[in-house]
Amino acid sequence: MPKNFNNRIKQRFIVVQILIVVSIFLLGAKSFDIQIFKAKDLAEKAENGYSRYITIKGERGQIFDRNMNELATSSDAISITANPSNIKDPGSAAKKLSKILGINRKKLQDTLSSKRMFACVAKSISPDQAEQIKGLNLEGIYFENDSKRFYPNRNLSAQVLGFTGTDNSGLEGLEYKYNSVLEGSSLKIRVKKDGNGGILELGKEKRAGLKGKSIVLTLDKKIQFLSEQILEKTVEAHQAKSGIALVMRPQTGELLSIAHFPQFNPNNFKRYNNIAFRNRAVTDAFEPGSAMKVFTAAAALENGFGPKSIFFCENGTYKIGAFTIHDTHPYDWLSMNEIIKFSSNIGVTKIGATIGDKALHNYLTAFGFGNKTQIECPGETTGSLSPYQKWSKIDAGAISFGQGVSVSAIQLISGISAIANNGVLMKPLLIKKIMSSNGEELEVYHPEKIRQVISSKSAQQVKRMMRLAVENQGTGTKAAIVGYTVCGKTGTAQKAMENGKGYSKGNYISIFTGFAPEDNPELAILVAIDEPRKQYYGGDVAAPAFKTIMTESFNYLNIPPENNEHMMALLSPGEKN
């Protein structure tokens, strides 16, 4: 009995020893597998528990005016992220957050109810919103440093600049056109998280090196501001639908102002209708009316006619087939100078008929009509100028005085500037240079000559015609500026019906465009007012706005009067002393 008992004990001891050895062997094998074969995978899993990869994007580059005033910049902002697995009551959290952030509560609750370790809640929120959310002390909600696009001058140049979306990508204007230039570079980095999944560091130093390039415009903040201010007053005074005002340097094609009214604030663009975003100076075409007459006159001068060539103006009524052309006042014989001064439709129709359809079309095309100017803005229109082979007799006559042809504001001021610039057409210039994030000039844009449209002699003769239009009895006397010789041309264009059948009886575009001084034009200006009420002639509506913009711009730029003796003669004897 005792012998059998001892044998059983020995057998059990051996079994236990075998089990211990096998267990040690298995543990060793498992340890070897973990440390050798699975070490990399397990290390990555452990690392992912307290860190994750995110893509950071550099701050967007700035947009400056010609004097390095900020027009568009980026400011510090905060983005809200979440670790949904740490949120105990997603419904309650979504209710509180949606109220502050103004986002859909149900969608936010779905996001916060997921089993993910990370979710983006809102990007680039305001400091006030961030403070409100911090006050909630919600578990699983975190704050990350970010940047937000900011327009320090609010409405200023809004249609030109455009704006960015919530992801800081350009949606309109130059922000859209030059998005690839302005947007910062991207970099994927690993960031550390705390025990609850919140980010501990975000690599601010790395983000600084990813900043986008900056753009310097030819616009002048001061001239842009006063143009917008005067335009607003003009539109409101005449109860008009809208207005445009452009200021250009004729010798270089540089745009100092592209003003619109109504305006919008790109910092809060969602509050506005999409129509407000359009840069109508570039995207919209309109019939120029009598402003087109100076180009018809220029074509005639290039074809052998002179300023004193006379044409019979039919005493105010002239029939072409079934159509009748009228003048505001009846005239008999007028020289070409007088035709422009008094803005005779009949006179300019006869000028156009005398030089021929082909010649007129060729010169209008040479001035840039019917083609894009290639200005650095999205959505530019070509306007419309049909081939001369398709013109009827009434088409040729109508085009001579600005009907049956459409132009953009940028085309019209470029053409007027060509006359001011001794017949040389310049490409409109809006971008001055592109700079790196550290201020290095990467690209510099210079004035670009397109072509010599008319001779210098013809340009001088058209200038004189335009000066006569601003002097006594001309249609543009309200644009005259004491001390300067102003050259200009009125335009009162009846608006075409939307269905393309005829013209509206009560809706006009009132235009005045010109330049000063005559001998050495410093600035060319175009003012176009859409659908003014009560008064609608360009000389009554747009000319005064032209005068004010030109006068204040000259004061700002310190451009002295041409004739000091003339200025002294206007002063009283006491003032002369």
Contact 181, 434 (CB under 8 A): yes
Place of tokens 């094998």: 29
The secondary structure element, H or E, covering residue 506 is strand 503-516
Strands 119-125 and 70-82: antiparallel
Write the CA distances from 162 to 171, 259, 269, 571, integer angstroms.
7, 13, 9, 47
290 is catalytic: yes
CA–CA separation, 177 and 324 (whole Å): 46
Tokens of 286: 């309109």
Strands 141-150 and 70-82: antiparallel
Place of tokens 């400056």: 64
Q: What are phi and psi of 434, to 5 degrees?
A: -120, 130
Tokens of 270: 């969602």
Tallying the residues shown for the chain, one arrives at 577
Write the CA distances from 178 to 72, 141, 154, integer angstroms.
13, 35, 20
CA–CA separation, 58 and 204 (whole Å): 10
CA–CA separation, 327 and 318 (whole Å): 9
Contact 375, 367 (CB under 8 A): no
SS3 for 44-98, per residue? HHHHHHHEEEEEEECCCCCEECCCCCEEEEEEEEEEEEECHHHCCCHHHHHHHHH
3-state helix, strand, coil in the chain (%, to 5): 40, 25, 35
The number of C-alpha atoms within 13 Å of 358 and in the hemisphere containing its C-beta is: 1
The secondary structure element, H or E, covering residue 241 is none
The one catalytic residue among 79, 98, 290, 344 = 290
Bridge partners, residue 451, by sequence: 425
Bridge partners, residue 503, by sequence: 496
Closest CA to 287 of 44, 99, 469, 528: 528
Closest CA to 90 of 128, 122, 138: 138
- Cis check: omega of the bond before 262, within 30 degrees of 0: yes
List b or e across 220-257, with b for residues whose CB sees 16 or more CB atoms inside 10 angstroms: bbbbbbbbbebbbebbebbebebbbbbbbbbbbbbbbb
Contact 431, 218 (CB under 8 A): yes
Would you tell me how many other CB atoms lie within 10 Å of the CB of residue 575? Answer: 8
Bridge partners, residue 125, by sequence: 78
Contact 304, 527 (CB under 8 A): no
Catalytic residue IDs: 290
